[in-house]
Amino acid sequence: MSLKYEQFKNHLQKVGDLKYAANVLHWDQEVYMPKNGAGPRAQQLATLSGVIHELSTDKKLGDLLAELRTDSTLTFEQKRNVEDAFDKYTKNLRYDVSFVQEMSMAVSEAFQSWNKAKEASDFSMFAPHLEKLVKLKRQETEILGYTDHPYDALLDQFEPKAKTADITALFEDVKSVMVDFVKEIAACPQNDDAFMSAHYDKDDQWDFGIELLTQMGYDFDSGRQDVSSHPFTTNFSATDVRVTTRINENDLNEMIWSCIHEGGHALYEQGLPTEEYGLAGGEYLSLGVHESQSRLWENNVGRGKSYWKANYASLKAKFPEALGNVSFDQFYRGMNIVKPSLIRTNADELTYHFHIIIRFEIEKALIEGSVEVNDLPALWNAKYKEYLDIDVPSDAMGVLQDIHWAHGGFGYFPTYSIGSFYAAQFYATAKEEIPGLEAEIEAGNMKPLLAWLREKVHAHGRIYTADELCERITGSKLNFSHFMTYARAKYSELYAMAPVSQEA
Ligand code: CO
């Protein structure tokens, strides 16, 4: 390894140390911190992020990058690590201190006003703060630069190299087939899931969740699970990846789906190459690819028949009162109910995408300046009527439901849907390449699938772009038809519909 590359690697590892130290503080804040710790903790995190910014824009790093970019002795992986770092370095340099401070003030004010507005269910309380944020975000698109659409600059922060035009086209595909498909399902006799809201003891749920994580291959020597109000995964290194879950004694769904979902995120982080710590090769590729891992486990595996053939007996044994009279078939149907609903986070795996499309269309319009903040509630409600045929009763259950905009997270939402579509495409290939995959899952053996994901996705960190990775794995770029093939096969059976031959 060249001396310069070694120095570059050391520099980025230090930045990594600080970033992961900040993650520990964030994790503690969500899981264990007493409420009086909030003030000093915010200060500690602000100081750390200042130091991270200094180190990330250090001239020494810039000089190293300039030399390494012309070094022809580097391997392909080393070149990609350097290019990724160069891209981040040049972007970091574009922010001046006053803009960063103004943004962080605007975000904290917007966040507080969003909390109050949501409680009062009154969008007008949040509107002036959101207006300010949108103005700053539009400024940020100019700071970062873009070639086609200003929203590209924001999208790129979560899904590097993704383009607004491609996502718009993708979502047009989704709408063109899914609106009708969901209507077809709604016209069929409906399944029942009342048993999911029977009483389920907290401790027994916890134990079952641990069983599921263990079976998936989550390594408890390199992580742990705790409880938090919003389930999440965070990492301090590939050998310390934490997950949290949420348990509701009157709704089994919350624990099961959060455990499997966060477990999927965590397996990705635990599978990243430890020797590439702090470099692109040791970090996740994009939020879309991250979400592909959580959703592949949650939906393609976890909501599948084989998975519950492996696990339903154990679940039933833990909750004989709630599930004693619920057959396997009833359980499988109950956990796969498709029904348009108001709240994104409770949506089923099909109608979920309309929640995302609505948010994408609105934030894209805000950033390009084709709608005004004050028009949002009416626009939101009209889109829910158009795509999901439901009436939104209040701002709290409508335009104010998500935290993302209050946090300044514009460009984040599309990654959720992209993740599901990647998941379906990856899983279709996994089925072709892993002999007897469904039979292995049915036997409770998740090892072949995990080994495949490790080799195809986890081992590469961010060495490839998402397009490149998807092509390497599946032979083509992201293509929504895989999701529709999966959805049609599964839900036609669940709802006893006539088979449809035409595909998107
Ligand atoms: Co997720």
Distance (Å) from CA 161 to ligand 1 centroid:
20
Is 262 assigned a catalytic role? Answer: yes
Distance CA 410, CA 431 (A): 35
Say if residues 447 and 441 touch (Cβ distance below 8 Å): no
In which order are the strands placed within the sheet that holds 240-245? Answer: 223-227, 240-245, 233-237
pTM of the prediction?
0.95
What integer pLDDT is reported at residue 330 of this predicted model?
Answer: 96
Calculate how far, in angstroms, residue 465's C-alpha sits from the geometric centre of ligand 1.
Answer: 20
Question: Annotated catalytic residue: which of 262, 283, 298, 363?
Answer: 262
**Alpha helices of 280-343 — where are they, by DSSP H?**
287-295, 305-318, 320-323, 328-334
303 CA → ligand 1 middle, Å = 16
Residue 242, beta-bridge partner list = 224, 234
pLDDT reported for residue 503:
44
- What's the 391 CA to ligand 1 centre distance in angstroms? 27
Question: How far away, in angstroms, is 27 Cα from ligand 1 center?
Answer: 16
Distance 245 CA to ligand 1 centre (A): 12
- Closest to 208 (Cα-Cα) out of 245, 235, 233, 250: 245
Distance of alpha carbon 153 from alpha carbon 163, whole angstroms: 9
Percent of the chain with pLDDT over 70: 99
Closest CA to 201 of 133, 257, 247, 150: 247
Find the 158 Cα to ligand 1 centroid distance in Å: 13
| Spacing, Cα 502 to ligand 1 middle (Å) | 31
Query: How many alpha carbons fall within 13 Å on the CB side of residue 418?
Result: 27
Average model confidence (pLDDT) across the chain? 95
**Tens digit of pLDDT at every position of the chain (504 positions):** 789 999 999 999 999 999 999 999 999 999 999 999 988 998 899 899 889 999 999 999 999 999 999 999 999 999 999 999 999 999 999 998 889 889 988 998 999 999 999 999 999 999 999 999 999 999 999 999 999 999 999 999 999 999 999 999 999 999 999 999 999 999 999 999 999 999 999 999 999 999 999 999 999 999 999 999 899 999 999 999 999 999 999 999 999 999 999 999 999 999 999 999 999 999 999 999 999 999 999 999 999 999 999 999 999 999 999 999 999 999 999 999 999 999 999 999 999 999 999 999 999 999 999 999 999 999 999 999 999 999 999 999 999 999 999 999 999 999 999 999 999 999 999 999 999 999 999 999 999 999 999 999 999 999 999 999 999 999 999 999 999 999 999 999 999 876 554 444
